[in-house]
Chain A
Amino acid sequence: MSNNIRFVQGNEACVEGALYAGVDFFAGYPITPSTEIAEILSKKLPEKGGKFIQMEDEIASMCAIIGASLTGHKVMTATSGPGFSLKQEALGYACMAEIPCVIANVQRGGPSTGNPTHVSQGDIYQARWGTHGDHSIIALTASNHQDVFSVTVDAFNLAETYRTPVILLFDEVVGHMREKLVVPEKGEFPIVDRLRTSVKKGVDYHPYLPREDGRLPMSDFGGEHRYNVTGLFHDMWGFPSNNPRVVRDLLHHLIDKIENNVHAITRYKEHYLEGAEYILISYGSSARSAIHLAKNRRERGEKVGVLELQSIWPFPEGLVREKCANAKAVIVVEMNMGQVMKEVKACVDNPSKVFLANRIDNKLITPTNIKTLLRMIQGRGV
């Protein structure tokens, strides 16, 4: 047997992905159900020469990773509901100042302290709009440990590519469940390293002057170049500006760099989707129940398939519209009051054929829960 086979919790799969991607700085404040991410990194990061800091709270954790990223490190923090709320202001700062960082939010029941040890997927919109002001964001998710590993690697890569915070929206079931993980060999997955400026020491460096391809080379803060970083609207030197053109151009830039690359950011999986008359759209742990049901129905000759989303934001509108074009009905399976369902309704040709199979009692939605709704839609009773 390969030495790379492991039997771990999803949180540990996330840690392995982060280490594979080259994380070398973590600041956090432990909170269920994300605690294992901090716990395991507190052991593994120092062994690899990285830094682990347990901060006084989630706000300080978020600020610490922003500072460390600026100095050239690959950084992450991990949290859950209440902690994710506290991180929102600094998250917006990272969007505005274009600082690569990864924030894992292992979702639990909410609002407020909610239900710490139980599952929910209620932070979909918070990930998108939790911080104030127009902005764009990348949020990824996964339903099994192999994918938790790979989307975590992707999160670091996308953070560096687009100079942006990337949110990992896992949930309690995936975080705590144990299953197989095969850790890939070095080199199997591409790793995007920090794009550093080629501007020599002593020559003017413009931190916010994009190259022709739109990317912004960075200079390790405190290193060879002096420059300004601010949460205010700023010019190419990083100095505050309220010049209307500067403001407009920067906001366009922050949004366009992500929204114009939806095709490159979108991650998804298809399960039994070919010729499916009934399409289940799901993500995270609820996708496991959806796939279970689809497999079960296919074995009985029913055309049921699953579109599993692994990138939630930017929402893959084109993909969803295309895949659902010929479906008799689309059922969004999630553990909230229909946050992704609203996005699906907004982008498909016929919103009236979109239904919600949800569960909000902080228990994992079951294949039977979904089947009950499917039967009603099919007009076959329950």
Chain B
Amino acid sequence: MKRTRFVFSGSGGQGVITAAIILAEAAVLHEGLNATQTQSYGAAARGGSTKSDVIISDQPIYFPEVNQANILVCLTQEAYINYSSIIRPGGLVLTDSRFVITTKKVDARQIEVPMYDNVIEKIKKPIVFNICMLGALLGITEFVRPSSVMEVIKSTVPKDFVELNQNAFELGMELGALYNG
């Protein structure tokens, strides 16, 4: 896999950092790739903006931070305002249509998906919003195999929550597939 740089951004509690870790872990444990994951540290456990950088590559990764992202995920307006400028030309910006109003200033493919509204309507648990987002991302482009991500989710979340997460992940995949290609 060519070096791909992701930035996940949102606000504390949305699970953007967890999603970033799951994606990177799936690449390393189940696809034989290299990955690094770093994050901003601050008092953002609830509220406040959070950001996590992930790099996935079949080559060694040295500098672990992302200055120019191939893929940018923004789950809040604040995150979009702060980070939309770091997207590489031709990159992909994924936003949630409930939380983010996008502008046309970005030289990249912008995809607005109603992930949050779908999670609330069909799963009724906002806690899996982040997993739905991960599903949507892989639905748009299979950066790693969806089965690899599910393996990591199964080994990470408590047993009773696996099905809930699986449903959210599959819901996201369906939503993302609408924008595939």
Residues in chain A within 8 A of chain B (CB atoms): 1, 5-7, 32-33, 117-118, 173, 176-180, 288-289, 291-292, 295, 364, 366-368
B34 CB to nearest chain A CB (Å): 6
Name 9 extra pairs, CB < 8 A, besides A33-B41, A292-B63, A366-B65.
Answer: A7-B24, A117-B41, A173-B38, A176-B41, A177-B64, A178-B37, A179-B61, A366-B63, A367-B63
Specify which chain B residues have a CB less than 8 angstroms from the CB of A118 in the assembled complex. 41
Specify which chain A residues have a CB less than 8 angstroms from the CB of B62 in the assembled complex. 288-289, 291-292, 295
Specify which chain B residues have a CB less than 8 angstroms from the CB of A292 in the assembled complex. 62-63
Q: B93 on the interface (CB 8 Å rule)?
A: no
B29 and A179 form a contact (CB under 8 A): no
Q: How far is the CA of A216 from the CA of B20 in the complex (A)?
A: 50
B24 and A178 form a contact (CB under 8 A): yes
With most chain A CB atoms within 10 A of its CB, the pick from B29, B34, B39, B62 is B62
B39 CB contact (under 8 Å) in A1, A6, A176, A295: A176
A177 and B38 form a contact (CB under 8 A): yes
B135 CB to nearest chain A CB (Å): 20
Q: Which of B1-39 contact A (CB under 8 A)?
A: 21, 24-25, 28-30, 32, 34-39
- Contact A176 B35, CB 8 Å, known A289-B62, A292-B62: no
B97 CB to nearest chain A CB (Å): 30
Across the two chains, which residue of chain A brings its CB closest to B52?
A178
Q: How far is the CA of A1 from the CA of B155 in the complex (A)?
A: 15
Across the two chains, which residue of chain A brings its CB closest to B64?
A177
Specify which chain A residues have a CB less than 8 angstroms from the CB of B35 in the assembled complex. 7, 178-180
A177 and B41 form a contact (CB under 8 A): no
Q: Mark B56-71, 1 if CB is under 8 A from A, else 0.
A: 0000011111010000
Specify which chain A residues have a CB less than 8 angstroms from the CB of B25 in the assembled complex. 7, 178
A288 and B34 form a contact (CB under 8 A): no
B63 and A176 form a contact (CB under 8 A): no
B36 CB contact (under 8 Å) in A6, A179, A289, A291: A179
Q: Can you name 22 A-B pairs with beta carbons within 8 Å?
A: A1-B29, A5-B28, A6-B29, A7-B21, A7-B25, A7-B28, A33-B41, A117-B41, A118-B41, A173-B38, A176-B41, A177-B36, A178-B36, A178-B38, A179-B28, A179-B37, A179-B61, A179-B64, A180-B28, A288-B63, A289-B63, A367-B63
